[in-house]
Every structure is written in C-alpha cells, then in structure tokens.
C-alpha cells in the first residue's frame, strides 16, 4: 500500500482528498501545517507528498525542500496544488522541482490520476 502526506490548511480540502483516497489503495497522512508535517514525517514511509502552496507557516515549495532533505526522501515525488493561478506563480511552481502542479479546484478523478502517475509501481 502506498503512503502519502497531504498538507493543506483548508479542512474541507483535506476531507475531500480523504474521501477520494478511500477508493484507492493509498494511505493518507493529513496535516494542516508544515510544522505538523515535519514533526511526523521522519516516522513515516512516504511515497509521495501532496502539498498546498499557501500554508499558514510556510510555502509548499519550502516544505518540499525540507521533506526532500530528510534521509530517504531525496527523490520524493511532490505534487503541489494551489488556488492561485497567476501567470507569475505557475512558471515558478513548474520550475520549483515539484513533480507536478495542480490548480484548485480540481476534479477528483484528475487528482487520483495525478497521484497514481507519480507513485512507484507496486
């Protein structure tokens, strides 16, 4: 079973992702801040991180760097999602080293398809 971290300060978004992951063989670990995520991450076996870009305590790109700096996570696939779709931000996100970028709102089917495309084959 694949395991992913999902970090978003929006409880509704977390519940939406939880709902759609239940239909898959993917176990989610959910957090509302970068600090919560970073405290828990060392004890988790991660296959992917789904990170909101705008978090209350950090940016998703900074959290991505911190997660990838942890031993064993150097090549962790990261999917960043954001409600901001400005023409200045999207190129920055695409060049950030993230494995993928999604705009909110997104279709549940597209979210699951994106996640599964980045997970290692089982």
Domain CATH code at residue 15? 3.40.50.2300
**53 token code pair:** 């870009």
- Look at residue 25 in the predicted model and tell me its pLDDT: 87
Nearest-angstrom CA–CA distance, 38 and 78: 14
- Look at residue 110 in the predicted model and tell me its pLDDT: 92
Average pLDDT value for residue range 34-51:
96
Asked if the bond preceding 68 is cis, omega within 30° of 0, the reply is no
Give tens-digit pLDDT for 44-84: 999 999 999 999 999 999 999 999 999 999 999 999 988 87
Q: Are 77 and 47 in contact (CB under 8 A)?
A: yes
Question: What total of structural domains would you count in the chain?
Answer: 1
35-to-83, 89, 105, 109, 116 alpha-carbon distances in Å: 21, 23, 25, 29, 26
- Look at residue 122 in the predicted model and tell me its pLDDT: 64
Range of the domain at 90: 2-118
For residue 88, what pLDDT band results from cuts at 50, 70 and 90?
A: low
- Which pTM does this prediction carry? 0.91
């Amino acid at each position: 079973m694949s395991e992913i971290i999902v970090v978003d300060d929006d409880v509704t978004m977390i519940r939406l992702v939880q709902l759609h992951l239940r239909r898959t063989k993917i176990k989610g670990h959910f957090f509302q801040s970068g600090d919560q995520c970073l405290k828990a991450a060392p004890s988790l076996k991660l296959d992917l991180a789904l990170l909101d870009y705008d978090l209350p305590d950090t940016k998703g790109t900074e959290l991505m760097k911190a997660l990838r700096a942890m031993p064993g996570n150097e090549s962790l696939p990261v999917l960043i999602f954001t409600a901001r779709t400005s023409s200045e931000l999207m190129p920055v996100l695409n060049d950030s080293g993230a494995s993928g970028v999604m705009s909110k709102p997104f279709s549940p089917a597209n979210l699951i398809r994106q996640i599964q495309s980045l997970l290692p084959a089982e």
